[in-house]
Amino acid sequence: NEGHIRLKWRHAETVLFSQQNRFWFSQPLLEIVNADRVKDDDWGPRAQGIRVDLWGLKKLTGVAWYSKKRDTQNVEGDDAVALRLTRPFLNNRLVLGTTAVNHNFGAGVHDYDRVVAADVELALGEVVPSLSRFGRMTWVTEAGKNCSGGWLDAIQNPLTNGLKTEIRDFSVGDFYNVASYQYYEPNFYTGVSNREADDDFRGYYVETNYRVPTKAINLKASR
């Protein structure tokens, strides 16, 4: 059985739910939390919890949720909480944000995964007049840190930082371009994300797109 109760106000909405996947939210670059790792899937989501969405509150937009696995045999407990907040400035040309997630997976006080991150998005093409010929030319950067307990405490001198920066909405004539650089230390990602394979990695990505005129064809080259 599944169901939910929804309570709504002018600038907020709260949903209490059981056996529904209400854990997704938009993230900028690092994707430190993945809804599929939280929903306790067994032929459909089984997790239960509460979700709160905020908007238009002093220009603040955000989402927070708490999840509890429904398995009553899990005596050690397994729950998670996540938060995402954003605040625009300069008529949406600048957006600041923060993301955090904490996952308790055992009975011990130090058995948890925890990652916090901060991000900035700046429309360079709308702020710097000389760059307007390249379109909006948005620059996005997110940096995060793994603050987990338990397994991370057992590692001597752990490396726990992650960073990704990207230029998007960058056009030159009929060519639309994206360029990014990422740097992940060996112990950055946790089991709350689905990107553990990106640990201990640094590199760049460049993409160019050309939209063929009058045809529903896009040509893309990436490296």
Enclosing H/E stretch for 126 = helix 124-127
More confident residue, 43 or 78: 78
Query: Which residues have a Cβ under 8 Å from the Cβ of 156 and sit 6 or more positions away?
Result: none
Residue 174's nearest CA partner among 137, 212, 131, 207 is 212
Tell me 45's DSSP state.
B
More confident residue, 7 or 215: 7
Cβ neighbours of 60 (radius 10 Å): 13
Percent of the chain with pLDDT over 70: 94
Residue 214's pLDDT band (boundaries 50, 70, 90)? confident
Tell me 124's DSSP state.
H
More confident residue, 52 or 20: 52
| Residue 180 to residue 195: CA distance in whole angstroms | 17
More confident residue, 71 or 208: 208
Query: Which residues have a Cβ under 8 Å from the Cβ of 154 and sit 6 or more positions away?
Result: none
Query: Which residues have a Cβ under 8 Å from the Cβ of 145 and sit 6 or more positions away?
Result: 115, 116, 117, 160, 161, 162, 188
Q: Is the pLDDT of residue 108 over 80?
A: no
Percent of the chain with pLDDT over 90: 67
Specify the pLDDT at position 23.
92
pLDDT digits (tens, 9 = 90+) for 178-187: 999 999 999 9
Specify the pLDDT at position 107.
63
More confident residue, 76 or 78: 78
Supply 62's token pair: 């955000």
Residue 223's pLDDT band (boundaries 50, 70, 90)? confident
Averaged pLDDT for residues 196-207: 94
Averaged pLDDT for residues 116-140: 95
CB 86 within 8 Å of CB 101: no
The reply to whether the predicted model has a pTM over 0.85 is yes
Specify the pLDDT at position 213.
85
